[in-house]
């Protein structure tokens, strides 16, 4: 490699005898035969975990109410209206009873048809959870 020392006023490059990048020396590969026991052992020993879980560990997103999926999980069984953003400017709504919440989807049972509808959770923009209407009707009738 050619270098130009700082006090070289002629501008003639000088050859550098030392390589710019040095690699560490390569370690020799150990010689194994077919009956070598060290080669047959796993690198890391597995330990047995004797923890008893009351609830099996699941996805932290679905179980944590700070995420949309976790909050929607607390609303399972309630009547909801969901608005989805389709494209850049079109909103579409669906309503029914929330049956299931996954990491990337929800399932609602539509009111008129009793059909199960799986929806993309990432296009949801608004969720309206309706209050129990039977209690409102009873308290309204008592007045």
CATH at residue 72: 2.30.30.100
Neighbours of 50 (CB within 10 A): 5
Q: Write down the residue that tokens 């010689």 correspond to.
A: 31
Please check whether residue 37 lies inside any domain of the structure. Answer: no
Please check whether residue 116 lies inside any domain of the structure. Answer: yes
Please check whether residue 43 lies inside any domain of the structure. Answer: no
pLDDT at 64: 76
Please check whether residue 44 lies inside any domain of the structure. Answer: no
Per-residue pLDDT band at 33 (split at 50, 70, 90)? low
Please check whether residue 10 lies inside any domain of the structure. Answer: no
Please check whether residue 132 lies inside any domain of the structure. Answer: yes
Neighbours of 127 (CB within 10 A): 15
Q: How many domains does the chain have?
A: 1
Question: Hey, what are 119's tokens?
Answer: 């929806």
Percent of the chain exceeding pLDDT 90 equals: 36
Answer for the pair 31, 38: CB distance below 8 angstroms, yes or no. no
Question: In degrees rounded to 5, what are phi and psi of residue 37?
Answer: -75, -30
Please check whether residue 102 lies inside any domain of the structure. Answer: yes
Round to whole Å and give the CA distance between 2 and 13: 6
Name the residue range of residue 82's domain: 60-142
Q: What is the pLDDT of residues 78-125, one digit of tens each?
A: 999 999 999 999 999 999 999 999 888 999 999 889 999 999 999 999
Per-residue pLDDT band at 65 (split at 50, 70, 90)? confident
Q: What residue spans of 22-101 are helical by DSSP H?
A: 37-40, 60-63, 68-73
Percent of the chain exceeding pLDDT 70 equals: 52
Please check whether residue 49 lies inside any domain of the structure. Answer: no
């Amino acid at each position: 490699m050619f270098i130009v020392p700082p006090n070289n006023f002629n501008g003639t490059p000088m050859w550098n005898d030392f390589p710019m990048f040095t690699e560490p020396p390569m370690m020799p590969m150990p010689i194994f035969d077919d009956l070598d026991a060290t080669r047959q052992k796993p690198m890391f020993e597995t330990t047995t975990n004797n923890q008893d879980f009351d609830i099996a560990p699941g996805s932290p997103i679905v179980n944590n109410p700070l995420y949309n999926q976790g909050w929607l999980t607390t609303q399972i069984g309630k009547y909801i209206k969901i608005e989805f953003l389709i494209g850049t400017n079109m909103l579409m709504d669906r309503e029914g009873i929330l049956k299931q919440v996954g990491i990337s989807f929800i399932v609602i049972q539509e009111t008129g048809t009793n059909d199960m509808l799986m929806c993309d959770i990432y296009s949801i923009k608004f969720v309206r959870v309706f209050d129990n209407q039977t209690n409102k009707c009873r308290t309204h009738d008592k007045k």
